[in-house]
Amino acid sequence: MEHETEYSSLIPDIQDGSTALPEEALKITPEMLIQIPIRGNEIRNRKLTFEKNMSTLPLVVLLLITVNVIVFAFEFSTGALQNEQSIVLAGALKRDLVLHGEYWRLFSAAFLHGSTGHLVGNMIFLYIMGMATEHAFGSRRTTIIYFASAVSGSLLSMVMHPGPGVGASGAIFGLMGALVVYFWKNRDIFNLRDGNIGIFIAIVAVIQISLGFSDPYIDNNAHIGGFIGGALIAYWLKSRLDIADQPIAAFNTVSKVIAVASLLLVSFLWLLAYGHIHLICAQISETRYPRTAVNFATRALELNPSNDFAYLVRGTANFRAGNESGAFSDIQTYLTKHPDRTDSYETLGHICYFKKDYAAAIRYYTPAIRIQPSLSLLNSRGYSEILIGEYSFAREDFQRALTIDNKYAPAYGNLGLLYAIDGSYDAAIENIEKSYELDHSLTEVKSLIAALKSEKAGNKAAAINHYEIFIANTLNSPEWRAENAFAVKQAKALKADIAGSYQ
């Protein structure tokens, strides 16, 4: 009892309410709270951040980039980038062909590109805009927006321009249009900074389209058509914000990397097995290592004898390696298989030009122009005609080139040379200055213009000095042979005049 009393004195007296046992800590869960829908001005207290949980590895976008790169590798290895005719055969958008039933070009053109720079620029934009679009709409809806925009861009391009046209930019502008609509529809639920992303994208689109109007090689119709198509699709499609419990990413990072890597590996093995990788290596090494290029092209033919473009590549590499008989044999083989293709005639013409057999070069350029006239072919034939003294024919070719593109700088420069040969200094200076205005990479013409101006003013010593500078800058440059020969002749004549005046 003694102990009982002792211990009982340690127990708090709870009957009179003076002392209570301590309660356990209570954890509050979302389920215990009253869910009150937010509406009206209350939404301002619950702004969202767009970038939250956005993946930097958007699966659909990465797959689209991969496909574009693979298609470009195929273009490069089959000669699709050689000229307009080749890119059309590869699947470029062309109005008359689509109207005759080749509707697949509305899709295929969006996966073709005209150069490495064209591809890289588009893929950077695709990644940036695609990452945001896939975060906003999800993978399936992004795929729908991309292809719908590609078609809408192709349709407007086809209506407004006969073609050919290639590039993914119409689809990319569609992603931009979709994002502008997305941010506009959800403008009340994002914080101020994120809410302005849509305005920023709209400004970027306007700037890009505005710049496109100043460049004849940019298909602005595809951009506008794609933007409108993407915006319309996005207006009707639901976004992630409209779907309850929609996961932010359908695939985890490992799954995405495995999917893209698998596609790359399979594609690389396919390209390797059919000699496309070898042919790409041949073209890359052709200029500096022509013998290596010949070996690569030969291996490509062994792996895939049906890829006739390898004959053209090997023929060019053989010529650079000094094997002229092998070069002509290969290119003639290609020409036999493709008598209606301009690239074989053009290559043979270039070979003859480098050998200074200008009459033969003209004979090869002529059937190529007959099949499909182009700026480069007309300029090449006209330039060869200058070098053999057929000035009237050369003038016709350059003027014809300018009817195709009135901003083609080489044609103005060569017309200026013809005027200089005739002694028409004002017309010569005007045309050569025009060529430099259109293409500032033609820095060599500065000294030629200065020489002509000095000669016109009667300052023979200054003219000789400028001609000699031009001669030194263009010495052993095949693309400046005619101008160099003219400058040498003029400088020699002026020196003779000065010497005669002292006698």
32 pLDDT higher than 70: no
pLDDT tier at 189, thresholds 50, 70, 90: confident
pLDDT digits (tens, 9 = 90+) for 249-279: 456 677 778 888 888 888 889 899 999 999 9
88 pLDDT higher than 80: yes
> What whole-number percentage of the chain has pLDDT above 70?
85
pLDDT digits (tens, 9 = 90+) for 460-482: 999 999 999 999 999 889 999 99
30 pLDDT higher than 90: no
State in words which class domain 59-242+249-267 has.
Answer: mainly alpha
- The stretch 232-238 carries a mean pLDDT of 88
- The stretch 367-376 carries a mean pLDDT of 92
The pLDDT value given to residue 214: 67
**Rounded Cα distance, 272 and 289, in Å:** 21
**Rounded Cα distance, 455 and 378, in Å:** 30
151 pLDDT higher than 60: yes
- Sort residue 183 into left (φ over 0), alpha (ψ -120 to 50) or beta: alpha
Strand partners for 190: 48
Least reliable range by pLDDT among 217-226, 368-377, 424-433: 217-226
Domain boundaries, the chain: 59-242+249-267
Three-state SS annotation for 460-499: HHHHHHHHHHHHHHHCCCHHHHHHHHHHHHHHHHHHHHHH
pLDDT tier at 397, thresholds 50, 70, 90: very high
Could you tell me which residues come within 8 angstroms of residue 442 by beta carbon, excluding any fewer than 6 positions away?
A: 409, 413, 435, 436
pLDDT digits (tens, 9 = 90+) for 92-137: 999 999 988 899 999 999 999 999 999 999 999 999 999 999 998 9
- The stretch 361-390 carries a mean pLDDT of 94
Q: What is the mean pLDDT of the chain?
A: 86
Distances (CA, A) of 101 to 98, 107, 323, 490, 498: 5, 13, 45, 58, 70
Total-model pTM: 0.71
